Amino acid sequence: MTEKKPKSIYHLKNGRLQLAHRHVVEEYPLRLRVNGRDLATLVCSPHQLNFLLAGFFRLQGFADSLSDIQALGVCADFGLAEVRLKGELPAKLQPTLTSGCGTGIAYNLPQQLQSDLRDRQRSYSVDSLFRLMNQLAKQAEQYRSHGGIHSAAIGDEKGLLLFAEDIGRHNTFDRLAGEAWFKQIELDDKMLVTSGRVSTEMVAKAARLGIGLIASRTSATDKAIELCEQAGITLIGYLRGEALEVYSRPQQLQIATGKERLSGITGVILAGGESRRMGSDKSLLPFQGARFIDHTYRIMAELFEEVIIVTNSPDLYNSIPCRKVTDIYSAQGSLAGIHSGLFHTDSDTAFVVACDMPFINPETIKQLCSRAAEGDVVIPISAHSPEPLHALYKKSCIPAMESVLDAGHKRIVGFFSQVNVVEVPATNLSPLNTAERSFLNVNTPQEYFSLRDSYPPSSPGEAEDRKSTAD
C-alpha cells in the first residue's frame, strides 16, 4: 500500500489554532471470508496482513501448520481476505472482531443520524475542556491502585458528570452510557474525554449518544476523523497540559485568547453569492481540513464579539454557532449582502469579508478597524484594485446603499460618492505580503484547484469531495 499523506490538523499554540500536518494511525477493517463463510472483521493496521491472518488462524486453533492454509488472498481495495483452510470450520461459530471492537462497527453513520448531528449548533470552550480532562485525571488517580486500565468521563461547561474505568477502552463508553440511562442524564451535546486512542467504534457510540466533542490524551485513527466529520463532532487528540490538536470541526471550539475582541464592530461574512463562475457553492469547498467558510468564521470569531453570516441558505451553516440573516434586497449581489449585514447588526460598524477568502489575516483586519472613526467606509487598495469585500462599513451607509439598490444597481462602489470613503493603500498595511494575501479570494475552479493542490487532503472524505468537484 502507498504511504498516506499527513492530515491537516490544528494545533493550539499561544492561544490560537495554527494549521499543522500529522500522520495519524490508519484503521483498516479487513473482512475475513473462510471457506466461503464470513468469519470475522479484523480491525487492524494495513501492513503484512499475511502474518496477521496466519497468526489469527493459528491462535484460534483453525490451523495446526501453514500447510493447513491452502489459499490466502487479500484484496486491499475492498478490504477483503479470501482464505481456504483444510477441513471445515465448526458449524456454530461466533463472529470474532479484534482490537476490542464489538459488532457495532460502522464506517458510515446512518443518513438520518448524520443529519441530526451535523446540523446542530455547538460551541465548546477550551478552558472547560481542559478542566474536564483534569477532573478525569484526578478521578483516575483517586480510584486506581494499579496500571493498565482505561478511563473516560462525560461532562459539560460546569464540569464532570460521569466517570468510568475498565480494562477495555470501549467498555468505558458502554459503562458511561449505562450509568447515564440509570441516572436519567441527558447526553446530547456533552463532551467526552478518554485516556485511550479514539477509533471508529468509539465515535459511532458517541454519535448515538449525541456527544458533540471527543477528546483523548493520545491519538485518533484516520477513520475516526472521517466519522467525526460525518457526525459533526469535534475530535481532539494529544490533550495534555495546555496543548491539544484538533482533527475535525475546529469551528465549534471557542478559545479564550486573553486578548479583548474589537468592540463596537460586528464581523459579517457574505455567503449568499450565486458562485456562477465556480459552478458550486464556494463556501462549502474543502480546504485544509475544513470548508472555506469554517476558516473564515474561526478568524472572525476570534476578532469580533458578534459574527453574522449573510446567506439565503441558512440551513447550510447550522453547525456554525452564530446568527444567520438573509438578503433584504433579493438577487442584487454582494451590495445587498453588505446592506443586510449592516441592517441586522446591533453595532454601528461592520467589517465585511467574503466566504471565499481563506487567508484573511487578523492583524490586517485590526489595522483597518483601527481607522473606523475616519470615515463611513474604510477600504484597502491592493496592487490591483479596491477590496470592497474586505472592508469596514458603517450604518450611516444604509440610506446611500438603498438608493443605489432601489435603482436596480449592484456595484458596491456605486454608493461611494454619497459617503465619506477612506482608502488605505496596501503598502500602508504591515506586513505588505500578509495584507495582500488577506485579500485573496477564489472565484473559478482553476483558482480553487491551484490553491488546494498546494495542500494534502486532510481526510478520505475531503479527498472524495475534491474528486467529485473535479469531476
The DSSP call for residue 396 is G
The 10 Å Cβ neighbour count of residue 186 is: 10
pLDDT at position 279 is 53
Backbone torsions φ then ψ of 154, nearest 5 degrees: -120, 140
pLDDT value at residue 256: 63
Over the chain (471 residues), the average pLDDT of each successive run of 10 is 67 72 79 86 78 78 85 87 86 52 46 64 88 87 63 91 83 85 90 91 86 92 88 90 86 71 92 62 74 86 91 86 91 94 95 90 92 95 91 97 95 96 91 82 80 54 41 37
Burial of 35 (0-12, 13-18, 19+ CB in 10 A): middle
Alpha-carbon span 171 to 25, nearest angstrom: 21
Q: What does the DSSP 8-state code read for residue 25? A: B
The structural domains of the chain, ordered by start, are 28-97 (3.10.20.10), 109-253 (3.40.140.10), 259-452 (3.90.550.10)
Cis peptide before 431 (omega within 30 of 0): yes
Are the CB atoms for 311 and 323 separated by under 8 Å? no
pLDDT of residue 118: 64
Q: Render pLDDT for 293-344 as a digit per residue (tens, 0 to 9).
A: 888 888 898 899 899 999 988 888 887 888 999 999 988 999 999 999 999 9
**CA neighbours closer than 13 Å in the CB half-sphere of residue 70:** 7
Per DSSP, what are the bridge partners of residue 380?
424
- Write down how long the chain is: 471
Closest CA to 256 of 360, 126, 366, 398: 126
Q: Which three cell numbers stand for residue 367?
A: 489595522
User: In angstroms, rounded to a whole number, what is the distance separating the alpha carbons of residues 1 and 46?
Assistant: 8
The C-alpha atoms of residue 280 and residue 338 are separated, in whole angstroms, by 22
The pTM of this model reads 0.56
Q: Go through 354-372 and write b for each residue having 16 or more CB atoms within 10 A of its CB, e for each that does not.
A: bbbbbbbbbebbebbbeeb
- Give the count of beta carbons closer than 10 Å to the beta carbon of residue 139: 16
